[in-house]
Amino acid sequence: MSFETILFEKKDGYAKITLNRPDVLNSFNEVMHMELRDALKSCQKDEEVRAILLTAAGRGFCAGQDLGDRAVTGDEGPRDLSQTIEKFYNPLVRLIQSIEKPVVCAVNGVAAGAGANIALACDIVYAAQSASFIQAFCKIGLVPDSGGTWSLPNLVGMARAKALAMLGDKVSATQAEEWGMIWKCVDNDALMETTEELCAQLAQAPTFGLGLIKRAMNAAPTNTMDQQLDLERDLQKMAGFSDDYKEGVNAFLEKRKPNFTGK
């Protein structure tokens, strides 16, 4: 697949998607939205892809919406921003959440506005030491989108979520790790190697089971304990019928390394 605004490669059982508009800190224009969506959908369908790595080129991860496309001149009426949310940002976050394969995010630099919340929508988030997260929306009179008002309180608690959203303060990668906003902060030089090794490792894992784990975790914040117990029962039934469960148990009993096929 060849694209104008992203790079896409498949290797060692996973796909790597690199946002590639570094001059504008990889902020989103419509082409990048469409290309990222197409790349993610192809990963969703492709059985050879058992994990996805999302990262970006240059010194930033993503600065959210390309504000160059949002200049408000005297002649034009105000733009209805709900249209781009409905057409691009919401489907993107829903797609990341609905792909039943691990989506790893390697945040290589500043992640601002929708860029921050798209990173937080991924399953396992690593950030380089020099990266940061900024809920930049309030600085231009907007509301956090791309799931930020849902994921932030869930990740860091309401007190921090409200202050971050209303003040737009920069959160360093170290702080993000301490607060549980992300999984790990690593040295800048180690980010790509660490996340690529992780994705190669995930590509050997029981993908079907990992997809069910993702489904259960994503359902948890809006379920009661009772509903979650029922969901776990139903998902365990599905997992128990998988080839990988059979292989996992046999490998354990035979004291050998399992060979998971992802099915």
| Contact footprint for ligand T3D (CB under 6 A) | 24-25, 27, 63-68, 70, 81, 84-85, 89, 110, 112-114, 134, 136-137, 140, 142, 145
Q: What are phi and psi of 22, to 5 degrees?
A: -60, -30
Which tokens sit at 241? 């019928």
CB of 138 to ligand T3D, least distance (A): 9
Nearer to ligand T3D by C-beta: 138 or 238?
138
Nearer to ligand T3D by C-beta: 13 or 113?
113
Nearer to ligand T3D by C-beta: 55 or 65?
65
DSSP for 112-172, please give it. Answer: ETHHHHHHHTSSEEEEETT-EEE-GGGGGT----TTHHHHHHHHH-HHHHHHHHHH--EEE
The CA-to-CA distance between both ends of the chain, in Å, stands at 25
CB of 234 to ligand T3D, least distance (A): 36
CB of 149 to ligand T3D, least distance (A): 13
CB of 118 to ligand T3D, least distance (A): 9
Nearer to ligand T3D by C-beta: 67 or 163?
67
Q: Judge whether 109 and 59 are in contact, CB under 8 Å.
A: yes
Residue nearest to ligand T3D (CB): 64
